Amino acid sequence: MAITQLERDGVIIFKLDGRIIAPDVQELSDTVQNTLVRIDDPPKLVFDFKDVTGMDSSGLGALMRIYADIQPRGGSIAVINVNKHVKNLIVMARLITVFRNFENEDEAVWALLNPPVDPPQ
What are the structural domains of the chain? 2-113 (3.30.750.24)
Contact 88, 56 (CB under 8 A): no
23 prior amide bond cis, ω within 30? yes
Q: What is the pLDDT of residues 10-39, one digit of tens each?
A: 999 999 999 999 888 999 999 999 999 999
pTM, two decimals, is 0.91
Q: What is the pLDDT of residues 88-113, one digit of tens each?
A: 888 787 777 788 889 999 999 999 99
CA distances from 47 to 35, 62, 75, 78, 101 (A): 14, 12, 14, 6, 10
Q: What is the pLDDT of residues 48-69, one digit of tens each?
A: 999 999 899 899 899 999 999 9
For residue 120, how many other CB atoms are within 10 A of its CB? 4
pLDDT confidence tier of residue 85, bands split at 50, 70 and 90: confident
